[in-house]
């Protein structure tokens, strides 16, 4: 099956007892066992370990990514935490992209550092920098591409080779492009991590996460810590995500088209200093973006002329655009990373990786591009 067919049909069958076309929300803690000897005959015992509605979502995301199996989590951070828990021991070392989701950076520096794990935040856009960061204690490489919020790309094939040569798993945070645009297992990656909160749900309705594994052995390690730590996705969230994902390709294509139109508008605007969108020829890694993925996504950022005060005036002046955290939804959102998503990252570290005080991040939604551009134009007039 091709992607658009899979996004509708993979992983779900009509309910065998009622014929319901949508999978039921199995809102049940426990599952009755037929006998002591037949314990787990249905595959289900207790909803912290597995739940049939959650399993349907796991089959769906496994089919979309083309991996061996998947584990669904209560949030994207719970998914990243499970990857850390599964592959890092006290005394180990991990390499993480220097530009990454702020919560990933916080989890590494403020939680795992307490447990005796060392991190190198490497410029994963430079494979040589990653290769030279590997030590005999390195046991995980986690990259994020395109990275939140600067949109820096990592060459996944190059980093996967380094990981394979070093005998460590390479996990990628595939939240921004999703399996619709970025087929990470074709590029040698071992684990694909998602915040399903973003494009996969796409409707601002849920917080969730998933880890898709290339092999069953990797999946067993991730699923073991999920059960041990108790971080599974709820059946309600799985059900809503199953509905949202059915239009993933259509949403992402249209939202990306809108993003390109908006990027071109901003590029011409006298009050805008820098515009960063992977689909623009001016994007420094435009060739890698074209080669590595089948679309550029619907995230972009720009610097308003006049720095932080101008940026704040702009964000307070938008009307149709919503000032909010989150991204990937059908609603267009504007975020100020320095005060919102990346507030946990120190000013020095932000400056080092290129998150400027005036950086405005746009998550372009599904509205009419002309309305979105008119609203940006009036907000820029107010700056
Ligand atoms: C949002 C996000 C996360 C964290 O996901 P939650 O669902 O908010 O816990 C991780 N990585 C990226 C790239 C994100 O955008």
- List the structure tokens of 118: 């060392």
Mean pLDDT of 98-118: 95
What per-residue confidence (pLDDT) applies to 308?
84
Mean pLDDT of 200-208: 98
Domain architecture of the chain: domains with CATH: 3-246 (3.40.640.10), 247-381 (3.90.1150.10)
CA 146 to chain centre: 9
Q: Answer yes or no: are the C-beta atoms of 79 and 210 closer than 8 Å.
A: yes
Ligand 1 centroid, distance to 114 Cα (angstroms): 22
CA 268 to chain centre: 30
pLDDT tens figures, 237-273: 999 999 999 999 999 999 999 999 999 999 999 999 9
Report the C-alpha gap between 256 and 289 in whole angstroms: 13
CA-closest residue to ligand 1 atom 2: 195
- In the chain, the N- to C-terminal Cα span, in Å, equals 50
pLDDT tens figures, 343-361: 888 889 888 888 888 889 9
Q: Is 83 helix (H, G, I), strand (E, B) or coil?
A: helix
pLDDT tens figures, 29-53: 999 999 999 999 999 999 999 999 9
Q: Confidence class of residue 339 from pLDDT cuts 50, 70 and 90?
A: confident
The reported pTM is 0.96
SS (H, E, C) 87-111: HCCCCCEEEEECCCCHHHHHHHHHC
CA-closest residue to ligand 1 atom 1: 195
Cα–Cα distances in angstroms (integers) from residue 184 to residues 95, 243, 355, in the given order: 18, 23, 26
Pocket around ligand 1: residues whose beta carbon is below 6 Å from it?
75-77, 101, 103, 144, 148, 173, 175-176, 195, 197-198, 207, 209
% of the chain beyond a pLDDT of 90: 90
Q: What are the catalytic residues?
A: 48, 101, 173, 198
CA-closest residue to ligand 1 atom 6: 76
What per-residue confidence (pLDDT) applies to 46?
97
Ligand 1 centroid, distance to 103 Cα (angstroms): 7
CA-closest residue to ligand 1 atom 5: 76
pLDDT tens figures, 269-328: 999 999 999 999 999 999 999 999 999 999 999 999 988 888 889 999 999 999 998 999
Give, for ligand 1, the residue of 100, 198, 240, 297 to mutate: max count of ligand atoms closer than 8 Å to Cβ: 198
Q: Which atom of ligand 1 is nearest to the CA of 209?
A: 7
**142 — phi, psi (to 5°)?**
-120, 115
Mean pLDDT of 216-234: 98
Ligand 1 centroid, distance to 195 Cα (angstroms): 5
What per-residue confidence (pLDDT) applies to 344?
83
The mean pLDDT value of the chain amounts to 96
Mean pLDDT of 107-136: 97
DSSP element (H, E) containing 113: none
């Amino acid at each position: 099956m091709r992607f658009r067919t899979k996004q509708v049909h993979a992983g779900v069958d009509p309910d065998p007892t009622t014929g319901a076309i949508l999978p039921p929300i199995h809102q049940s803690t426990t599952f009755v066992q037929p006998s002591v000897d037949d314990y787990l005959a249905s595959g289900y015992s207790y909803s912290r370990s597995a739940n049939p509605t959650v399993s349907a979502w796991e089959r769906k995301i496994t089919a979309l990514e083309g991996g061996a199996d998947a584990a669904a989590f209560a949030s994207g951070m719970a998914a990243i935490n499970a990857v850390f828990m599964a592959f890092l021991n006290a005394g180990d070392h991990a390499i993480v992209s220097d530009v990454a989701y702020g919560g990933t950076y916080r989890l590494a520096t403020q939680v795992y550092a307490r447990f005796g794990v060392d991190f190198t935040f490497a410029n994963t856009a430079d494979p040589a920098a990653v290769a030279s960061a590997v030590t005999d204690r390195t046991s995980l490489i986690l990259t994020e591409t395109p990275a939140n919020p600067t949109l820096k790309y990592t060459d996944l094939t190059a980093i996967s080779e380094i990981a394979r040569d070093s005998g460590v798993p390479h996990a990628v945070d595939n939240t921004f492009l999703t399996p619709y645009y970025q087929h990470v297992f074709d590029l040698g990656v071992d684990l694909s991590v998602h915040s399903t909160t973003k494009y996969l749900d796409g409707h601002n309705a849920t917080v969730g996460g998933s880890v898709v594994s290339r092999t069953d052995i990797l999946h067993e390690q991730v699923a073991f810590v999920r059960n041990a730590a108790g971080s599974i996705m709820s059946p309600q969230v799985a059900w809503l995500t199953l509905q949202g994902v059915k239009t993933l390709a259509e949403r992402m294509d249209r939202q990306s088209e809108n993003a390109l139109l908006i990027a071109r508008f901003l590029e011409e605007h006298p009050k805008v200093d820098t515009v960063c969108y992977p689909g623009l020829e001016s994007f420094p890694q435009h060739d890698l973006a074209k080669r590595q993925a089948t679309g550029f996504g619907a995230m972009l950022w720009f610097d308003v002329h006049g720095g932080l005060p101008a940026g704040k005036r702009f964000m307070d002046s938008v009307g149709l655009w919503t000032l909010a955290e989150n991204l990937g939804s059908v609603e267009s959102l504007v975020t100020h990373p320095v005060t919102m998503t990346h507030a946990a990252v120190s000013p020095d570290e932000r400056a080092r990786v290129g998150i400027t005080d005036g950086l405005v991040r746009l998550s372009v939604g599904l509205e009419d591009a002309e309305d979105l551009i008119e609203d940006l134009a009036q907000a820029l007039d107010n700056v």
